[in-house]
Structure 1
Amino acid sequence: MVTSRRTLLTGAGALALAAGTAVLRPADVLAQSRERSRPASPAGNLGLDAATLGLNANSPDDQSKALAAAIREAAQRQVPLVLQPGRYRVSAVPLVEGSTLIGVGGQARLVQAADSPIVIADSIRRVSLTHLTFDGMSQPLSQGRGLVEIDGTPQVVVEACSFTNSGQIGLVLRGSGGRVATTGFTGMGSSALFSLDASGLSVIDNTVRTCSNNGIQIWRSAAGDDGTVVQGNRISDIHFDAGGTGENGNGISVFRAGGVMIANNVVRDCALSAIRNNSGANCQILGNNCAHFGETAIFSEFAFQGAVIANNIIDDAATGISITNLDQGGRLAVCSGNLVRNVTRRKSPYAPDIVGGYGIHAEAETTVTGNAIDGADFVGISAGWSYAMRNLVITSNMLRGSPVGIGVSLVPDIRNAVIANNVIAGAANGAVVGFRYADAVTGDLTRGADERAKGIRVEGNAVTS
C-alpha cells in the first residue's frame, strides 16, 4: 500500500474525531487566539472596526469618549479606524498623531452633539479623514468655529467627505497643509472652508453649495506667502448674510495670502464676487468659469502687488474684472485672454448706489491685452479712476457693444498709457474717451488728439460703428 499525504491527513482527522476532538483549521486557530486576547476586529482590509471598540451605530447616546478611545487604539496600532454605516453623536473628539478615519460606503455620519466642533486636531503631524459625513444639524457654533478644526498639522487629508448643516464653518484649518479633495459642503452658516496661515494646502475638485457668507476662504493673519492651490472646485449659491463691503458674498476669498493659484473653478450665483483677491501678492487667477454676480466677478484689490488674471469666462455681473486700489498699493498685473459678457449697472449689494457697467477696470502698472468684451453697458475697458491711473498698456482687445469702448482717466496731471491696436465696434459715445471721474470730457480720441489727454498714446485702433 502506498501512503499518500492525503491518506495521512484523512487518517489524522479520523483519529481526532474518534478521540472527540474537532479538527481546527488555521482560520479557527486564529479566531480563538483573537477571542482570548480580545483585540479589535479588522473591517476587511481597511483597518480596525470601531464597533468592536465600543462605538455603537445609531445610538442616541453621546459617544465622544468611545470614539476618542477607538481613535487612540487605532493610531497606536498604526492602522485606520473604520466606522460602519450609521449615525454617531459626538463632539470635541481629539484626533491624535497618525489618526486615519474611514467611513464605510460614505454612510458613517458624525453628528454634532454639543456647541463645539465634532472633531479637532492640534499640533500633530498627520491626519486623514475619508468617506465621512460631518453633520452640524444646524446647531449653534461660536463665530469662526467649524465642524472639523485642524491646527498646526502639515499633512492633512480630507477626501470624499461631506460637510452639511454647520452653524458656522464646515472645515477650519489653521497653520496647516495637505489636501482637501472631492468633498462636498452644503448648508454652511458662514463658509465652507476657512484656511488661515496655510503651509502647502491644495483645495481640489470639491463641491460647495449654499453658504451664508463665503465659499472658500484662504486668509493669512499678516501678509505673506501662502502658496495654496484652489483648483477644479464647483461653487454656487453664496449669500451675503453678514453684510460688509466685500469681506462676504464671495465664492473664493483670498486675504493677504500671497502666491495663491486659483484655477479652473466653476463659480455661480454669488452675492458679490466669484473670486476676490484682497492684498494677496503674486496670485494667479486662471481659467475660471464664472456667472451671475451682484458686484465685480473677479477682483484684485488693495495691496495686492502682482496678479495674473487670464483666460477666465465671465457672464452676468455688475463689472467683469477690477484691478484696483492704487491708493492702497494695488498695482502690477496682467489681464489677458478673458471673455467678459453681459456686465450691466445695478444697485450695489451694500449701498444705495448704482454700480458697474465696466467690462475690465485697471489702475496701475497693468497690461490689458487679448480680451474679448461683449455688452458692457457703460465702458468696455476703464483705464484708471480719479488720481489712480499710472503706466497702463491696453492693446489687442476686442470690444463690442459698449457705449464707450475704452475710457481713460484724465484726473492725474502725470499719466502714462498706451491704447493701441484694439478692435472697437458699436461704441456709440466714442471708441476711446477721456474721463474726469464719471464724466466724459473729450471726444473720441481715435479721431484726433486732445490737449487734455496729454500722456495718453492712442494709435492703430480699428473702429467700426
Structure 2
Amino acid sequence: MTRRSFLLGAALCLSGTAAAAQTRIADLRGTIDAADLGVMPDRTDDQSAQMQRAINRAVEKGRALFLPAGTYPVANLRLPSGTLIVGVPGRTRLVYQGGGGLLATAEGAARIGLDGVVFDGANKLINEHAFGLLHFLDVDHLSLVNCEITGSSRSGLALDRCAGQVERCLVSGAAEAGIRSVEGRGLVFAENVITDCANAGLMVMRWTKAEDGTLIRGNRIERIAARAGGTGQNGNGINIFRAAGVMITGNRVTDCAFSAIRANTASNVQIIANSCLRSGETGIYSEFEFEGAVIADNIVDGATIGISVANFMSGGRMAVVSGNLVRNLSATGPYDGSGGAGFGIGIYVEADTTVSGNVVEGAPKYGIMAGWGPYLRDVIIADNVVRDSGVAVSVSAVEGAGTTLIRGNILSGYREAAIRGYRWQEAVTDDLAGGAAAPAHLTISGNVVRPASG
C-alpha cells in the first residue's frame, strides 16, 4: 500500500465522505509518518524514547507527526513549541506506562496541536506535581480537537495560564476534574463530552479574582461525583471560581452530585440556555463575592434549589434571573440544611436583582424566595408563574431588609400562602396577597393568586 493510499484510507475513516477525505489529505500533506521514525503501533515495549525523537524530528522539520491506528505505550512526553500530532480518532492510543510522571506535558510553548488521539492513563499513579494526565503550562494557541482523555488518576486535562481551544473531545473517568483550567487566557471549551469524573467536570479557576474570559459552550457533562466530600466544593458539572467574564451557554449538564453550574466569586458571569437535569443540590449557583450575573433561558429539572443568587453578606450582588424554567425540586438535600433556608426552593435571590418571566413548578417549600434576614436589597419579582409550591413567594421581613417589589405574578396551586414574610425561618405575616398589611419595604400589586384545591 502506498503512503497516499494509507492516508486516504485513514481520512475516509475519519470523515465518511470522499470529498471530506480529500480535504483531510490536503491538511496532512508534508506530515511525517511516525513509523518512518521507528515508532511502531501495538508493541508491548515502552515506546517513549522513540516517540519523543519522532515528535522532536517533526518539530524540527516544521511538520505534523502522523500516528497510525494502534496502541503506543509511552510516558513523560514533552511537547515543544510547534508540536502537531495527528491520529485516527478512537484508534490511535497513547497509553500511560506509569512510573510516577504523567503522559504528556508542555511548558512555555507557542503552539501545540493534538488532533484525533486517545490518551489513556490506565488509572496509574501520576506525579503529585502534575495536575493531570496531560498538563500544559503557559502555552499559547493550544488546540485539542477530536481527542479522548480517559483513566487519569488525577485530572484528565490540566491547563495553567493557557490560551486556545479544546473542542469535540471526550474526557472520562478522571479521579479529580475532567478538565481543570487555572489562570486561563481566553480559552474556549466547546462541544466536549465529560463523563464519570470523581470530583468535577469542567473547572475554571484563578488564584486571585481577575478577568478570565473563558467561553464554555455546547458541552455535554454527565455523572459527576463528589468523592472528596464537602458541601459544594466538589461534585459540580461546571465550576467557576474567582474567574470573571466567563460565558456558559448551550451546555447539557446532568446527574451531578451538587450543582450543574456553580459560579463562586465570579463577576459578570453569563449562564444562558443550559439544560441542567437531576442536580443533587442547587441546579445553578451564583454565590459569594461577585458583581453581575445573568442567568437566563435555562432549564433546571430536578434539584434541591433550582437557581440561587446568594451571599450579599460577602458582597454578592447584581443579577438578572429571567426566562428560566425550574421544576421537580426536592426538599431532601445531600447534607443537613436546617441551619439555613433549607431545600425545596425554586429561585432564591438577595440583592440588586430582577427575577422576571420565569416558570417555577413543584417547589415543596418556596417557589421564589427573596432575602435571608437583613440580606435583601432592591429586588423585583415580576411576571413570573409559580405553580404547585408550599409558599409561592417568601420574602424577608426582618428589620433592615431592603426594597422589594412583587408585581404581576401568577401564583397558582400553593398550599400555605401566596406571599408571606419571614424572619429567617419564622413566618411573621399572614398572606400578603390576601390583604394583610405589608411591611414598609415591600410593594405588592397585581398578582393573580389561586390556592391549591382541597
TM superposition score normalised by structure 2: 0.90
Contact kept? 2:55, 2:79, Cα under 8 Å: yes
Give secondary structure in 1 for the equivalent of 2:363.
coil
**Structure 1 match to 2:158:** 172
Which of residues 431, 446, 452 is equivalent to 2:418? 431
Which of residues 95, 119, 138 is equivalent to 1:134? 119
| Structure 1 residue 349 displacement after superposition | 4.0
**Is residue 199 from structure 1 mapped to residue 175 from structure 2 by the alignment?**
no
TM alignment of 1:293-442, pairs within 5 A: 293-349=279-335, 355-442=342-429
**Structure 2 match to 1:62:** 46
**Structure 2 match to 1:18:** none
Greater Cα shift, 86-95 or 408-417: 408-417
TM alignment of 1:209-288, pairs within 5 A: 209-288=195-274
Cα 1:52–1:179 shift into 2, 3 Å: same
**Is residue 79 from structure 1 mapped to residue 66 from structure 2 by the alignment?**
no
Cα 1:362–1:75 shift into 2, 3 Å: same
**Aligned counterparts of 1:434 and 1:87: Cα–Cα separation in 2:** 65
Which amino acid in the other structure matches residue 194 of structure 2? V
Structure 2, unpaired ranges of 5+ = 5-25
**Aligned counterparts of 1:415 and 1:257: Cα–Cα separation in 2:** 29
Aligned residues: 424
Structure 1, unpaired ranges of 5+ = 1-26, 28-41
Which amino acid in the other structure matches residue 446 of structure 2? G
Which amino acid in the other structure matches residue 148 of structure 2? S
Which deviations, in whole Å up to 9, do the C-alpha atoms of 1:33-73 show, x marking residues without a partner? xxxxxxxxx99736100111121212222222211111111
Cα 1:414–1:320 shift into 2, 3 Å: closer
**Aligned counterparts of 2:430 and 2:257: Cα–Cα separation in 1:** 36
| Structure 1 residue 412 displacement after superposition | 3.5
**Structure 1 match to 2:7:** none
| Structure 1 residue 449 displacement after superposition | 4.4
Cα 1:329–1:130 shift into 2, 3 Å: same
**Is residue 51 from structure 1 mapped to residue 35 from structure 2 by the alignment?**
yes
Which of residues 107, 120, 124 is equivalent to 1:122? 107
RMSD: 1.8
Cα 1:241–1:46 shift into 2, 3 Å: farther
Which amino acid in the other structure matches residue 326 of structure 1? F
Contact kept? 2:139, 2:163, Cα under 8 Å: yes
Cα 1:210–1:350 shift into 2, 3 Å: farther
Greater Cα shift, 454-463 or 108-117: 108-117
**Aligned counterparts of 2:399 and 2:182: Cα–Cα separation in 1:** 38
Which amino acid in the other structure matches residue 53 of structure 2? A
| Structure 1 residue 352 displacement after superposition | 8.2
| Structure 1 residue 425 displacement after superposition | 0.6
Identity percentage of aligned residues: 39
**Aligned counterparts of 1:381 and 1:308: Cα–Cα separation in 2:** 17
**Aligned counterparts of 2:89 and 2:424: Cα–Cα separation in 1:** 59
**Structure 2 match to 1:14:** none
**Structure 1 match to 2:91:** 107
**Aligned counterparts of 2:271 and 2:27: Cα–Cα separation in 1:** 44
Cα 1:310–1:44 shift into 2, 3 Å: closer
**Aligned counterparts of 1:379 and 1:67: Cα–Cα separation in 2:** 60
Which deviations, in whole Å up to 9, do the C-alpha atoms of 1:112-152 show, x marking residues without a partner? 11222211010011100010000000112245621111110
Give secondary structure in 1 for the equivalent of 2:59.
helix
